[in-house]
Every structure is written in C-alpha cells, then in structure tokens.
Amino acid sequence: MPREHSASYSELEEWQSGGETDSTLWLLFAEYFAEDGEVWTLPVVRKVHRQILNDPTLCHDDTSVLGQSEFNRASTALILGSESIAIVEKR
C-alpha cells in the first residue's frame, strides 16, 4: 500500500478515542507508520505472534503447498458431507 494511504500511530490513537480526522484509515492491507517513519505493528498482532512463538504445540512455519491435511479433510467433509461418495472412496 502506498505510504500516502498509511496511518500514523497518533492517527490510530485519535481514531480509537473517537476523535475526528481528515485522514482515511485503512484497516485492511495497510502498513501503519509511527511518527519516526518506522512501520508500526498493531499491538494485537504482536500479542498473537508472541503467543504462537511461545506455544510449543503450535508450528509457526508455513504449511506445505497442499495445506494442512487435517484442515483439508475436515473442510471437505463439512462442504460435501461426511457421507459423500468422494470422501467414502477417499478420493
């Protein structure tokens, strides 16, 4: 996202407190910049990232090209139904 569409930390604080601003606040697919020009990461993103890194039961590595097999199996059963011929035949 171009820098002119980014919000500064103070603009985010003002928006959260209900203050008015002339700037557009992009909540998706945007980078937020601190007053010093550095990229600012939302606190909730930092918190979740720390939780994932500190939980030994979670793998923070990327999944394979085929995705997570358990997720694929469960989502297919949800979409097609667990009694689907394709699932019963393990296709």
Could you give the number of structural domains in the chain? 2
One domain, residues 27 and 71: no
Instruction: Provide the pairing of β-strand 32-33 with 39-40.
Output: antiparallel
- Alpha-carbon torsion (63, 65, 70, 71), positive or negative: positive
Both 37 and 18 in a single domain?
Answer: yes
What is the C-alpha separation between 48 and 60, in angstroms, rounded?
A: 11
Q: Which domain holds residue 10?
A: 1-60
Helix (H, G, I), strand (E, B) or coil at 16: helix
One domain for residues 4 and 46: yes
**Computed from CA positions of residues 41, 44, 50, 56, in that sequence, does the dihedral angle turn out positive or negative?**
negative
Q: Do 75 and 89 share a domain, yes or no?
A: yes
50 and 69 in a single domain? The answer is: no
For the stretch 40-83, pLDDT in tens is: 888 888 898 888 888 888 776 777 788 888 899 999 999 999 89
Judgement on whether residues 55 and 67 belong to the same structural domain of the protein: no
Residues 50 and 40 reside in one and the same domain: yes
Q: Are 64 and 34 in contact (CB under 8 A)?
A: no
pLDDT-derived band at 91 (thresholds 50, 70, 90) equals confident
